[in-house]
Amino acid sequence: MTVKPWLRVLVAGAAVLGLVGCSKADRAVLGAPGCPDGPVAHVSPRQVPVGTVWAWSPHFGAPVDSRQKGLVPGWSDVVSVADDGHTTVAVRADGTVWSYGTNVAGSLGRGSLERFYEAEPRQISGVDEASAVYSSGATFYVVRRDGTVMAWGQDRFLVRAGKREGHDGVATPQHVPGVRDIVSMGPGLLNAFALRSDGRVRGWGINVTDVLGDTGGTRLTTIDDVKGVVDVASAGGAVIAAKADGHVCAWGNNAHGLLGIEPRGGQMGRPLLVPALKDVVQVAGGNDVAYALGRDGVVRAWGRGVNGALGDGDTSDHARAEPVRVAGLPRIRRIAAFGLTGLAIDVEGRLWGWGSGLGLGRYAENGAAHPVRIPLPRRALDLSGHHVILEDVPPTR
């Protein structure tokens, strides 16, 4: 088909007018390099040695006579833990799922939406063959050994894979429809993201900041233009993904620089390459702040730095688009985020934290601009919120 010259001029003029109407931040995002293809990833579920669970700070709003810290009774042989601050859920090696804490619109999985506190863990019925657990606020997700996902808790919308039906929570575990072949997850407060064994990312939920891509829907979708992913995390207004080649890609809102682009602002549903990051093996996301762990054990942070969340010595409400090294940490092997708090386990099994005092509790009630060490009785294996999995004590001879 021959395109008439006047039509070419009209299209070109519209494009120029569109760019003229864009801010510098919008143009920077539009012109940023996309996520490179890289190698195909074949991702397997992460294997964590079994251990016991240690609470290093109490649940928010827990009764004054409840456990403040220490071993969680009955939680041995644990391989995964998820703590949203009010409720904590654990997966044991036999595939059973257990919970304790405050029931927030069904977060304990007990069949009740009423609010109450349970000091002792109890098994959640209706879910088995579990391999890992994740949380987004008071909504919990369990990845099962067959790659399916079950969920329950405060947000029915997220439990039903973005299907708008009712407003009450879900008090017993339900299968998330259409979600299969999943090895891990990185859910956020308004949306959820799941990593398939082929390195593709699936998402559902609220899409105000284009975290589900260029779609107007809320239902389950595959994120286009990003492959070879080995880890994914929601960071509030954006999603961060680590790829098999060590690159990091991000999509969503760049108001706090989470896409790694200056000037900050604008948003993009197409995954973009975050410059200056390489050889990354894991990512974590908090409230508009992101962390990346390099193969060399170095942690880098970018996004919103309020209360010291970037670990850069600055507690003011500032932002960085260029990832900065979190100074004062030894070589790290596992990272996590809890709101505006960064957490890390070093190669010796010691626990470190920085950022908001809400996440650090008694160890830095006013927050920490640099990492502080949180004492533990034994080596830590994995972590979530105020709970860590500790290695088992070797049997005495």
Identify the CATH number of the domain in which residue 290 sits: 2.130.10.30
Task: Write the CA distances from 261 to 66, 257, 264, 308, 372, integer angstroms.
Answer: 46, 6, 6, 21, 30
Write out pLDDT tens, residues 128-171: 999 999 999 999 999 999 999 999 999 999 999 999 887 889 99
Side chain identity at 5, as an amino acid letter? P
Locate all alpha helices (DSSP H) within the chain, ordered by sequence.
5-20, 24-30, 156-159, 357-360
How far is residue 44's CA from residue 285's CA, in Å, rounded to a whole number? 21
* Domain-embedded: residue 1: no
Cβ neighbours of residue 301 closer than 8 Å, sequence gap 6 or more? 289, 290, 291, 292, 309, 310, 311, 312, 320, 323, 324, 326, 342
Q: What is the mean pLDDT of the chain?
A: 92
Number of domains in the chain: 1
Under the banding of pLDDT at 50, 70 and 90, the label for residue 63 is very high
Whether residue 17 has pLDDT greater than 50: no
- Please report whether residue 396 resides in a domain: no
Q: Does a structural domain hold residue 3?
A: no
> Where in the sequence is the domain holding 55, given as residue range(s)?
24-391
> Which residue reads 């299969």 in tokens?
180
Assess if residue 11 is contained within a domain: no
Hey, what are 301's tokens? 């942070």
pLDDT tens profile 48-60: 899 999 999 999 9
Give the pLDDT of residue 38.
80
Is 10 domain-assigned? no
CA distances from 149 to 128, 221, 277 (A): 11, 15, 31
pLDDT for residue 392: 87
Bridge partner list, 92: 78
- Does a structural domain hold residue 297? yes
pLDDT tens for residues 234-266? 999 999 999 999 999 999 999 999 999 999 999
Among 143-152, 156-165, 342-351, 388-397, the minimum mean pLDDT is found in 388-397
In the predicted model, is pLDDT for residue 320 greater than 70? Answer: yes
pLDDT level of residue 349 (50, 70, 90 thresholds): very high
In a domain, 339, yes or no: yes
Assigned domain for 272 exists:
yes
